[in-house]
Amino acid sequence: MSIPQLPKPAKLLIGLFMKEKELLEPVARLLAENFGPVDMISRWMAFDYTDYYEREMGTPLFRRMLVFEQLREQTALADIKIISNEIEKKFSNDGMRNVNIDPGYMLPERFVLASGKNFTHRIYIGKGIYADLTLIYTKGSFQKLPWTYPDYADQKMLGWLKQVRDRYVRELRIEN
């Protein structure tokens, strides 16, 4: 018999991509107002894996990843996605987004993104939001899955996420 246990708190990560890099500061400020201080931030990464967003946002697009100090309950992901959608709307013009905000969380064994779209590998978590198992951690590194978005499967991204994971695991040890 399995005995129910409380899950580990998760590390909140939020991916942003945009054309206008000057939007980073006001968007990050609003995210910090809602989710607390930012602990780490990635360097700018080119976002040239798809042309899906070009019509809406233009080109070239760039990605930044924000990592937040405070650990979160995994059950908060749906609410976080709803808030991030509202922030996207604040920076939209005529219904066209200028920033895409992708919240997710990291656990020692996986990286999960929130989505408003259902798909075979996504689990409904409430409030119209699904959890997308994006990467798994095994054998000392993150492993992509057949459905992992190409930008999250990029070796630079995987290396950066490994650094975030290593720091997060140290935080968990300190708490216990």
Listed in order, strand segments (DSSP E) in 19-170 are 38-41, 45-46, 62-72, 99-107, 110-115, 122-126, 129-138, 141-144
Residue 1 domain-assigned (yes or no): no
User: Whole-prediction pTM value?
Assistant: 0.94
CB 61 within 8 Å of CB 50: no
Residue 81 domain-assigned (yes or no): yes
Residue 2 domain-assigned (yes or no): no
Domains contained in the chain, number: 1
Residue 124 domain-assigned (yes or no): yes
Residue 164 domain-assigned (yes or no): yes
- Domain of residue 52 covers 10-171
* pLDDT tens digit sequence for 135-167: 999 999 999 999 999 999 999 999 999 999 999
Residue 4 domain-assigned (yes or no): no
pLDDT (average), residues 45-67: 89
- What pLDDT band is residue 176 in, cutting at 50, 70 and 90? low
Residue 176 domain-assigned (yes or no): no
pLDDT (average), residues 83-95: 96
pLDDT (average), residues 27-34: 98
Q: What is the mean pLDDT of the chain?
A: 95
Say yes or no to pLDDT of 117 above 70. yes
Residue 28 domain-assigned (yes or no): yes
> Which CATH number does the domain housing residue 49 bear?
3.30.70.260
